[in-house]
Amino acid sequence: MKAVAIIVQGKPQQIKANISYLQPNNQLAGKKVIITGGGRGLGFAMAKKFVSEGADVLIAGRNEKTLKASSDEIGCKYLTINVSDPTEFSTFIAKAATLMGGGINVLVNNAGISLHEANFFDVTPDTFDRQINTNLRGAFFLTQEFIRHLKSTNTSGNILFVSSETGDTMDYRPYGFTKVAVNSMVQGLAYLFKKDGIRVNAVAPGVTASDMTGFKADGDLFAGEYGTGRIYLPEEVAETACFLVSDASGCVSGQIITCNNAQTVNARWK
Ligand SMILES: NC(=O)c1ccc[n+]([C@@H]2O[C@H](COP(=O)([O-])OP(=O)(O)OC[C@H]3O[C@@H](n4cnc5c(N)ncnc54)[C@H](OP(=O)(O)O)[C@@H]3O)[C@@H](O)[C@H]2O)c1
């Protein structure tokens, strides 16, 4: 085990995050993984971890410059995709299969947006549609195309969704609705395809340092009113994701693993 300590002298208290990594052990040898939104944030942390564990990884997103820089940094492949546009998906999977020499067996549906509407009355048809189209509709139809590909190549596979702790709770904004629906989809697809050797799970992070939240991994990780006391780091989520993508979790499917230290557990007592 390797422990890295990040100590932040933030106000009003010092926040320290210890990330413990499992020693790299080729846990993902033989895995060919597509990660949407892999150019930055949580997707990038997963891509880096998976490459270090021996996976062949392809990251995908809209911004080619970011994808190229990230793929150069960690040694993986990249392709552009707009997950809001399902008409691209069949071509995307075909191109990915060519780039990776066939045998793609893992899809990580990580690309997502949160438009942080300040309140219920700030939600518009446009913000509603954009979040649904990216986080839910895009993930649904890309998964549909990926499962078609698995079946046509007679390959067993593994699909990981990046949900959110908001999927565990009530919400009045579309972002939360997308993650509740993602959790339903994870369980439904896991059940539907269990006899095909296709596993489907999700990680559901709490508030994590990334462009989406504006928190910096090397900044103040104090989380104010937030119950767990600190902001999480993308590398912490990537460790859990790695387990779910690996064969070590071979008996796990239809599960949503929440990475927030019990913040959203429905406790009887407070
Ligand atoms: N950070 C958190 O606190 C947190 C908590 C719970 C869950 N999550 C989930 O974690 C996932 C990653 O979030 P993050 O925090 O890493 O956010 P981020 O830093 O803003 O990264 C979002 C990623 O999604 C990609 N993306 C967005 N729209 C896309 C589209 N239409 N087509 C293709 N790619 C698109 C972006 O790439 P391009 O810009 O290049 O397209 C980027 O790589 C999301 O699903 C989010 O809901 C995050």
| Amino acid 5: pLDDT | 41
Whole-number Å distance, alpha carbon 13 to ligand 1 midpoint, is 29
| Amino acid 13: pLDDT | 55
| Amino acid 228: pLDDT | 66
DSSP state of 208: B
Atom 23 (ligand 1) nearest CA: 37
What's the one-letter identity of residue 256? I
134 is written with which tokens? 């990216």
**Residue 211: CA atoms inside 13 Å, Cβ hemisphere, count?**
12
Task: Indicate the domain borders of the chain.
Answer: 26-259
Angle subtended at Cα 203 by Cα 196 and Cα 106, rounded to the nearest 5 degrees: 40
| Amino acid 14: pLDDT | 56
Check residue 116 and give left, alpha or beta (phi > 0: left; psi -120 to 50: alpha).
left
The ranges of the chain with pLDDT < 50 are 1-12
Start-end of H helices in the chain: 41-52, 64-74, 89-99, 125-131, 139-152, 174-192, 234-245
The model's pLDDT over 158-175, given as tens digits with 9 standing for 90+, comes to 999 999 999 999 999 999
| Amino acid 221: pLDDT | 85
| Amino acid 227: pLDDT | 64
* Lookup result for tokens 């793929």: 71
Whether the CB of 176 sits within 6 Å of ligand 1: no
Whole-number Å distance, alpha carbon 270 to ligand 1 midpoint, is 32
**Which ligand 1 atom sits closest to the C-alpha of 62?**
41
Does an H or E element contain 18, and which? strand 15-21
| Amino acid 16: pLDDT | 63
The model's pLDDT over 33-77, given as tens digits with 9 standing for 90+, comes to 999 999 999 999 999 999 999 999 999 999 999 999 999 999 999
What's the one-letter identity of residue 33? V
Angle subtended at Cα 139 by Cα 179 and Cα 227, rounded to the nearest 5 degrees: 25
| CATH no., domain 26-259 | 3.40.50.720
